[in-house]
Structure 1
Amino acid sequence: MSHHRVKDIIVGAITHDEYVRIGDKTSAKTIYDSLISTFDGNEQVQEAKAGLLIQQYELFKMQDDEDIGAMFSRFQTLVSGLKVLKKSYTTYAHVLKILRSLPQQWRPKIIAIEEAKDLKKLSLEALISNLKSHEMVLKADGA
């Protein structure tokens, strides 16, 4: 296969922006090398983003001004970002992370959940529902 045919195949498989970036390359080899360099860079950027999101996940805490719904929404956004970057955790890990993210005033509820439920079988939806119910009690009690 001629190098012009290989070049046509490569150019036909890329976006216009990528074509502009490699348009001045003279051979299939130089085009390939340029694309590899670009995508390796993208992989490094993705790994850096993943590292940042993993750090945010590990340090995740419920904010003082948040309710359970807002906290869970922020958590889901973080988890979605991790999934896009092909980094994921088990539901069990998410359950533990959410329980550990709660403020000190939630300690009795956390202990009750841990004692009453098999956390490995607890869904996030069931946990959040349980926490929202308890939050209503806390608000009614003025806590």
Structure 2
Amino acid sequence: MAAPLDLEEGQSSTRPPRFNGHFYSWWKVRIHDYLMAEDSKLWDIVLDGPFIPMMEEKDGEKTSLVPKPEKKYDEAHRKKIEKGYKAKTLLVCGIGPDEFNRTAHEGTEQVKESKIDMLTSRYENFKMKEGETIHDMFTKLSSITNELRSFGEPISMSKQVIKVLRILPKYW
């Protein structure tokens, strides 16, 4: 059975939201909520990485932690490992093949700073285009301010209102 044409990919409570390479910040909130609804531990696994059972190994006087061999796993270890695979599966199901091989959309601190600089520049230089509706213009501006907020650089509502009033054409 084919999905209805108006059902966008990922707009389901039984499938993870689909990331198509655009609006990462929006998708991140949606996938967070999806994983939390499935099992609140899944988001912790995404943030902290999968569980790897460890054991102590002595090398003379030195003791170190090393990964435990699979044959020494107990039932609790297996359950935690399964949760890690569940988190990974849901994330992989939420991205397309084009996104699968990309490393990160948030990136390192340097990448974040670069994105913040780029978004700030886009915000400062933002103008309403000729023939553009107010709704379309505001949607684009909101997208920029929402991304800035997701990187920890919120723009107050009063500054956004002043920005909108400043960029409106004279006939408004």
**TM tier relative to shorter chain:** 0.3 to 0.5
Q: Which structure has the bigger radius of gyration?
A: 1
| TM-score after normalising by structure 2 | 0.39
- The structure with more strand, counted as a fraction of residues: 2
- The structure with more helix, counted as a fraction of residues: 1
